Structure 1
Amino acid sequence: MIHSLADVQSSKIGFDTRIWQFCVVLKNAVIGNQCNICANVFIENDVIIGNQVTVKSGVQIWDGARIEDNVFIGPNVTFTNDLHPRSGNIDYECKGIILRKGCTIGANTTLLAGIEVGEYAMIGAGSVVTKNVPAHSLWFGNPAVCKGYVTISGEILDFNFKDKNGLKHKI
């Protein structure tokens, strides 16, 4: 379903994907199956989004972004793709962001150009991510730092891989 007030220029939109009002999806963007692209989202040309991805309202996804399956992107997450932005600079080096399968990006997080967030990692709301985030790790803060680990289902573990009940998990 593409809302009548969305501007979707791409023909590469997967089955059962919903794109809500006031979204702009440029011509070369690729969006997989069963995604939910909420209102007021901008998706640039060189962006690939996998299957069953949720992008909440107010997100802009710039060239070079690669988003794998089952990723959750909270409202107002900021993607960047240039470490040294200057107005009018046509020779900038685009450094895309990679979000691996199943990761979660909390609301109002800023992702700096060139970083990768590992599979099933979780970024807390309001964080500024300045470096790569390993799989299954929990990061938050400004700058974001590792605060523990998470299971595939999102259960938070301490640095010894124990949950709140003291049960040790393998990840």
Structure 2
Amino acid sequence: MSEQFYVHPLAEVESGVSVGAGTRIWRYAHVRAQSSIGENCNLGKGVYVETGVRIGSRVKIQNHVSLFEGVVVEDGVFIGPHVCFTNDMYPRAITPEGALKGSEDWEITPTLVRNGASIGAGSIIVCGVTIGEFALIGAGSVITRDVAPYTLVFGNPASARGYVCRCARRLLSARVEGDKLTGTCEVCGQVTWSLSMP
């Protein structure tokens, strides 16, 4: 236990984990070795962070989220309860010969969640995608392909349904010119954001 961050007595944080100041890890969370969590994050009850996962700063991860090896979450991301990230495009419990697979047999496919994105409750993120900056994923969605910045997606499979502001409100009269998105937000007024994926 560090004075700089809080770990609930019923949480498990393995040795070799980097945790930033101000972060809180709540009961029954399990953070595996060689993963990293930035500053001022909140990991809710039952969150599972597998080996090698990288989480930025000011990230809020709600109860019972599963983040498996290969997932990178940038700063300021919101992940709703019961979201699950996958990490293998060809999962099997056994090899073609019938032997139980070991860690060396898995083919990890990385997933990236960019700064400020939000993922609604119960969503499934199929590995190999990038979720763009400030994108908004509706609850219960299945993400099977990249999501552009500031894009609202939902459904199974999820598809684009419009654009959102940094405050998460839907943009009215949104228009795209080149890589620039311009629209009117009921809270922020007229805004212009970049849709380019780095």
TM-score, length basis structure 2: 0.81
What corresponds to 1:121 in structure 2? Answer: 135
Q: Give the AA of the match of 2:36.
A: V
Q: Give the AA of the match of 2:66.
A: Q
More strand per residue = 2
- Are 2:52 and 1:46 equivalent residues in the alignment? yes
The answer to whether the 8 Å contact 2:169/2:186 transfers is no
| 1:6 equivalent among 8, 11, 15 | 11
- Are 2:192 and 1:170 equivalent residues in the alignment? yes
Q: CA deviation at 1:46?
A: 1.1
The number of equivalent residue pairs is: 170
Partners in 2 of 1:102 and 1:45 — Cα distance? 23
Partners in 2 of 1:24 and 1:11 — Cα distance? 11
Q: CA deviation at 1:152?
A: 1.2
| 2:150 equivalent among 98, 121, 136 | 136
- Are 2:9 and 1:30 equivalent residues in the alignment? no
The answer to whether the 8 Å contact 2:17/2:31 transfers is no
Partners in 1 of 2:66 and 2:17 — Cα distance? 19
TM-score, length basis structure 1: 0.94
Structure 1 SS opposite 2:192: coil
What corresponds to 2:85 in structure 1? Answer: 79
Partners in 2 of 1:42 and 1:109 — Cα distance? 15
Partners in 1 of 2:86 and 2:129 — Cα distance? 10
Q: Give the AA of the match of 1:8.
A: V
Structure 2 SS opposite 1:148: strand
Pairwise CA RMSD:
1.6
CA deviation digits over 1:65-123, x for unaligned, max 9? 00000000000001000111100344332112100000000000000011110000000
What corresponds to 1:94 in structure 2? Answer: 108
The answer to whether the 8 Å contact 2:153/2:162 transfers is yes
Among all aligned residue pairs of Structure 1 and Structure 2, give the percentage whose two residues are the same amino acid: 38
Gaps of 5+ in 2: 1-5, 95-100, 176-182, 194-198
Partners in 1 of 2:170 and 2:50 — Cα distance? 33
Q: CA deviation at 1:52?
A: 0.4
What corresponds to 1:110 in structure 2? Answer: 124
Q: Give the AA of the match of 1:148.
A: G
Q: CA deviation at 1:164?
A: 6.2
Structure 1 SS opposite 2:152: strand
Partners in 2 of 1:20 and 1:164 — Cα distance? 35
Partners in 1 of 2:122 and 2:59 — Cα distance? 17
Q: Give the AA of the match of 2:157.
A: P
